[in-house]
């Protein structure tokens, strides 16, 4: 059973529909108590502001439950803002710390057009089950204004993408994964990645 963290993120519906199409059982998780042993995997989706999301997760008692989940190295996938929250913080909301699972902070993308909106190439730098059966430099759909440009946790980086600089588009430590793009909106490649994560990661 995959738990989908529900804190009001706009893309939750799409993530759920993608897992349903792939045939993976899932359940929406709206508070900390619902994060229990009946769940095998946890997904934190997200679009929107870092501070708002961190605040909502705390308000719903989800923050400590997620921290505990990460500490126990249970299967986890952070999507877009869900990846960013795994880091120490963001320039977007300096007062609100992140989960601090990975080292580094999010910074604003330095490009003429921000948000970075559209399909961009994901260059895999470390082989992993997550990208099995997906060609290198495959296009995935992105929409974000902030990203992890700092690569202090270099050995954990799975993939990089360029847009006014190079940022981390996928990262992993143990069973904890994060992707900056939206697999639920990236066509067949995205569905393949979600299926890989559900079955093999």
Any idea which residues carry the catalytic annotation? 80, 182, 184
Output the smallest distance, CB 192 to another protein, in A. 11
Which residue, 35 or 79, is less far from another protein as judged by CB? Answer: 79
Using the structure block, give the residue that is written with the tokens 């300096």.
94
For residue 84, give both structure tokens. 């960013």
Cα–Cα dist 34/26, whole Å: 13
Which residue, 123 or 150, is less far from another protein as judged by CB? Answer: 123
Query: Of 136, 154, 162, 166, which lies in the binding site for another protein, with binding defined by CB under 8 A?
Result: 162
41 with 29: CB under 8 angstroms? no
**What is the distance of C-alpha 95 from the center of its chain?**
21
- Measuring CA to CA, which residue among 106, 127, 96, 111 is closest to residue 196? 127
Is 30 a residue that touches another protein (CB under 8 A)?
A: no
The count of residues interacting with another protein (CB under 8 A) is 34
**What 3-state class would DSSP assign to 170?**
strand
Query: Of 131, 190, 193, 195, which lies in the binding site for another protein, with binding defined by CB under 8 A?
Result: 190
Stretch that binds another protein, among 85-93, 125-133, 147-155, 185-193 (CB under 8 A): 185-193
Is 47 a residue that touches another protein (CB under 8 A)?
A: yes
Stretch that binds another protein, among 29-37, 41-49, 88-96, 125-133 (CB under 8 A): 41-49
**What 3-state class would DSSP assign to 193?**
helix
Output the smallest distance, CB 14 to another protein, in A. 7
- Measuring CA to CA, which residue among 201, 199, 195, 171 is closest to residue 183? 195
Which residue, 32 or 115, is less far from another protein as judged by CB? Answer: 115
Q: How many CB atoms lie within 10 A of CB 25?
A: 10
29 with 6: CB under 8 angstroms? yes
Is 24 a residue that touches another protein (CB under 8 A)?
A: no
Interface contacts to another protein, rule CB under 8 A: 10-11, 13-14, 17-18, 20-21, 47-49, 112-121, 139, 141, 143-144, 162-163, 184-188, 190-191
């Amino acid at each position: 059973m995959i738990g989908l963290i529900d804190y009001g993120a706009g893309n939750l519906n799409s993530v759920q529909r993608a897992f349903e199409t792939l045939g993976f059982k899932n359940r929406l998780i709206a508070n900390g108590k619902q994060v229990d042993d009946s769940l095998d995997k946890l997904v934190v989706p997200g679009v929107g502001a870092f501070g708002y999301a961190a605040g909502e997760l705390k308000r719903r008692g989800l923050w400590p439950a997620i921290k505990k989940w990460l500490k126990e190295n249970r299967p986890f996938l952070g999507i877009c803002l869900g990846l960013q929250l795994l880091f120490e913080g963001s320039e977007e909301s300096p007062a609100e710390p992140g989960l601090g699972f990975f080292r580094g902070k999010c910074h604003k993308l330095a490009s003429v057009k921000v948000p970075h909106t559209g399909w961009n190439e994901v260059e895999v730098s470390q082989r992993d089950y997550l990208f099995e059966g997906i060609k290198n430099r495959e296009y995935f759909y992105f929409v974000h204004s902030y990203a992890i440009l700092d690569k202090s946790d270099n050995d954990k980086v799975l993939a990089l993408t360029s847009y006014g600089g190079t940022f981390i588009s996928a990262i992993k430590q143990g069973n904890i994964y994060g992707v900056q793009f939206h697999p639920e909106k990236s066509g067949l490649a995205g569905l393949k990645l979600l299926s890989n994560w559900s079955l093999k990661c």
